[in-house]
Structure 1
Amino acid sequence: MKKDIQIPKVEGVYLAIVNEYNDLYKTHDWNAYIINDKNIDLELVLIVTNGYSEKKVTSTFRKKLDLLPKKSYAKIEFMPEELFVLNNEFKVTFFEGNTMHEKNFLFRRNTINEKAFQNIPLMEMKGILVK
């Protein structure tokens, strides 16, 4: 039975961590975003995140988006710099039409930094991107 389950490959959905100015607090904050670069809306997007290393595990954070429109993005969470020494994993599940999709995104420890910046699709910003 398990061999009969088809899990489609996820393309056009990315995660990015960007450093942006916070007007309210007058600080530069790191934030995680989910990006839908597809030409179809994503429904019931569930995101489960946590950080971990050999010796430490953070608490689990969950976020739900009812809809992530095509060619758009949404902020997931604020990322304190203390988390960058950990592996940060984002497990994303969503429906595209009537088909459920799932993908894990991993930001490896010490890879979130300004030296790793690249252009982020749709956002017109620079940051760290995981496809």
Structure 2
Amino acid sequence: MRKDIEFPEVKDIHIAAVKEWDEAFLNQSWNIYLINNSKLTMEVTIVVSRGSKDDQKTATLRHGLGILEPKTFRKVEFITEEVLPFKNEFLLSFFANGKLYDRMFVFEPYSIKDENLDEIPLLEHQGILSN
């Protein structure tokens, strides 16, 4: 049963929205990154993303990211301007040291915007860390 499973606290692992130049579309686009700023090697890493606003919902996307070494990052997905008014959730699950880790990261509606940009650890880019 789920209540019998120990879920250790996820520390120093982040989801960030980063605005970057997109060569394909020749403009600035928002991308979502998973940042492993911890000492853990993340194995069987999965990120599930979804968004909602009133009675509207986005598609649920599942990303198998495999292994993330300590102090590394990986791009998860491109996020369109149309879903920035939505509550965007990113559910992270991974194994490390034989234990299952699980955490939900949330970007509240309208929180992904230029006014909220800040330095992001490891990326050397400006972006927005989720709650």
TM-score greater than 0.5 by the shorter chain: yes
CA shift, 1:36, in A, is: 0.1
Equivalence map 1:73-84=2 (5 Å)? 73-84=73-84
AA matched with 1:110: Y
**Which position in structure 2 is the counterpart of 1:126?**
126
SS in 1 for 2:65: strand
Q: Is 1:104 matched up with 2:104?
A: yes
Q: State the alpha-carbon separation in 2 of the partners of residues 58 and 22 from structure 1.
A: 22
Q: Is 1:70 matched up with 2:64?
A: no
Count of equivalent residues: 131
Unaligned runs of 5+ in 2: none
TM-score (structure 1 length as normaliser):
0.94
AA matched with 1:101: Y
**Which position in structure 1 is the counterpart of 2:52?**
52
TM-score (structure 2 length as normaliser):
0.94
CA shift, 1:115, in A, is: 0.3
CA contact (8 A) 2:7 2:99 kept: no
Give me the identity figure in percent: 33
Q: What do you get for the CA RMSD once the two structures are aligned?
A: 1.3
Q: State the alpha-carbon separation in 2 of the partners of residues 41 and 113 from structure 1.
A: 31
